[in-house]
Copies of this chain bind each other. A is one copy, B any other.
Amino acid sequence: MVLHLVPRWSARLFRASPRWKKTYTQRASAQLKWLGCPRSVYSPLACRAYSKVSGSPEVMLTPERYPVQRLPFSTVSEEDLAAFECIIPGRVITDPEQLQTCNVDWLRTVRGCSKVLLRPQTSEEVSQILRHCYKRNLAVNPQGGNTGMVGGSVPVFDEVILSTALMNQVISFHDVSGILVCQAGCVLEELNRYVQERDFIMPLDLGAKGSCHIGGNVATNAGGLRFLRYGSLRGTVLGLEVVLADGTILNCLTSLRKDNTGYDLKQMFIGSEGTLGVITAVSIVCPPRPKAVNVAFLGCPGFTEVLQTFRTCKGQLGEILSAFEFMDAECMQLVGQHLHLINPVQESPFYVLVETSGSSAGHDAEKLTNVLEQVLNSGLVIDGTMATDQRKVQMLWALRERITEALSRDGYVFKYDLSLPVERLYDLVIDLRTRLGPRAKHVVGYGHLGDGNLHLNVTAEAFSQELLGALEPYVYAWTAEQRGSVSAEHGLGFKKKNVLGYSKPLVAVRLMQQLKAMLDPKGILNPYKTLPARA
């Protein structure tokens, strides 16, 4: 019965709008051609790897671009290297070429000069490493997939790089509750594949899924594309194992949905960006794999119509709405220009991607069809296309997911990740276009509209202090005036640590510094990150 519903549903759409049919059929050949390329060429993982090895010039050392001074940590000595070699034989990397990748963030905006990369396999090894570093006052930069946006995942100076890459084992999976326990270095996409085979999905998804580690996701409290439906990691992460600065192992790796015994210590480490402890294992609850996923990609005539489309979807799709993303026309232009992706709908000032995930293909299709008819007939949407089969779903998602990558190919990118009242979300983009004029190549806005989260990006031929000066603190002050957040999901890392005060009062910043001092009294864990040097 369910299978028969799909053509009926398309047929209803054709009746509702001849344009719809036209788009859906006319683009089919283009879409097939596009999908003819091997998938890996288009996956974020492959593209990120590509951008790393491209022949672009050396990235400037962080202390040369930013005013930051090395703190009086010790320097790694031959004895330290020998001690590390004792703990993790054969996994102490000092080869400069191998170190190069780990010293530079994937956006190629910050660069450290660490001389050693450690690749432990177990929590016990991490513990021994940290015990040594703590005793010796050696600074440590915990590193996952190095896909962060704010320079939090690479050293600023010569910090020891502690990589979770070899801590990539699934510890357990419970196929009734969907609770996954795994080491911190498991790659998100691989975990998703693992749980999908067991009829579940990971509760988070993001563009960097092919490279990012689950430990890094938790350490940065990653939001991403499924946040609207499955909520924050603060709810889905059930337990953590963390190694503290002095090497103590804190085992809170429970798999219980509810546990009100004392303070929930794991919350301190979620979103602490490796500054309070090193996450070594994660227990996380996975939702059941939805039986039906539908994606609609729509063109809207204005931002007001984007908002009204969101309200309509939220009201009528209810519990099956799993994503509501938007992007502006300049984003579409960039993914076309740099990645050769094809716009599947009529050119529009704005585009939205609506995803539903549910347990009944028939019911979900009926709900979505009703909504789409309504938004099309009322003029909220100019044109649209829809997909249910996985290939086409991925194709539509790529338009949104690969914007970051297209931007990084456009030049130097000034990135802002803001939470704003949804009604004012796009005003800042318009404002900045006027303010910056021809100094910027592109000023684009896209993001998770459903969560009030704007990704504002400005590209230029190269980094320029003048452009930076025009952007900051202007963007932060504008955001603070709206009582927004200057970092919705990217965290503060190195690049945003000094703007914390725009979103948090002094009392809060001081309390954060107290917490840091309590957990890491020598300040060896990911120094120069997250918190401003002084409140």
Interface, chain A (partner B; CB < 8 A): 176-177, 220-221, 223, 227, 231-232, 234-235, 248-252, 254-265, 267-268, 270-272, 276, 288, 290-291, 311, 314-320, 357-360, 363, 366-367, 419, 422, 448, 451-453, 483-492, 499-500, 502-505, 507-509, 511-512, 514-515, 518, 530-531
On whether A492 and B235 interact (CB within 8 A), knowing A452-B177, A514-B518, the answer reads no
Q: Please, which residue of chain B has its CB at the minimum distance from the CB of A222?
A: B260
**Cβ contact within 8 Å between A490 and B419:** no
A261 neighbours in B (Cβ, 8 Å): 485-487, 492, 499-500, 502-504
**Cβ contact within 8 Å between A256 and B358:** no
- The docked-state distance in angstroms from the alpha carbon of A255 to that of B320 is 24
Q: Please, which residue of chain B has its CB at the minimum distance from the CB of A269?
A: B263
The 6 closest A-B pairs by CB, nearest first: A318-B359, A235-B235, A267-B267, A259-B485, A258-B488, A261-B503
Q: Please, which residue of chain B has its CB at the minimum distance from the CB of A448?
A: B258
**Cβ contact within 8 Å between A512 and B422:** no
**Cβ contact within 8 Å between B419 and A319:** no
Q: Copies of this chain, how many?
A: 2
Q: Which one of A260, A271, A503, A511 has the highest number of Cβ atoms from chain B below 10 Å of its Cβ?
A: A260
A532 to chain B, nearest CB (A): 9
- The docked-state distance in angstroms from the alpha carbon of A316 to that of B359 is 7
A272 neighbours in B (Cβ, 8 Å): 263
- The docked-state distance in angstroms from the alpha carbon of A252 to that of B512 is 12
**Cβ contact within 8 Å between B267 and A234:** yes
A270 neighbours in B (Cβ, 8 Å): 264, 267
On whether A256 and B508 interact (CB within 8 A), knowing A264-B234, A288-B315, A363-B363, the answer reads no
- The docked-state distance in angstroms from the alpha carbon of A205 to that of B341 is 47
**Cβ contact within 8 Å between B260 and A318:** no
- The docked-state distance in angstroms from the alpha carbon of A530 to that of B177 is 29
- The docked-state distance in angstroms from the alpha carbon of A223 to that of B471 is 44
On whether A256 and B177 interact (CB within 8 A), knowing A234-B264, A262-B500, A268-B263, the answer reads no
Q: Which one of A264, A319, A485, A508 has the highest number of Cβ atoms from chain B below 10 Å of its Cβ?
A: A319
A203 to chain B, nearest CB (A): 10
Q: A223-B260, A232-B235 are in contact. List 7 more A-B contacts (CB 8 A).
A: A176-B311, A256-B452, A258-B453, A258-B489, A259-B487, A265-B512, A267-B268
Q: Please, which residue of chain B has its CB at the minimum distance from the CB of A502?
A: B261
A491 neighbours in B (Cβ, 8 Å): 260
Q: Please, which residue of chain B has its CB at the minimum distance from the CB of A316?
A: B359
**Cβ contact within 8 Å between B318 and A291:** yes
Q: Please, which residue of chain B has its CB at the minimum distance from the CB of A493?
A: B260
On whether A262 and B358 interact (CB within 8 A), knowing A235-B235, A268-B267, A515-B518, the answer reads no
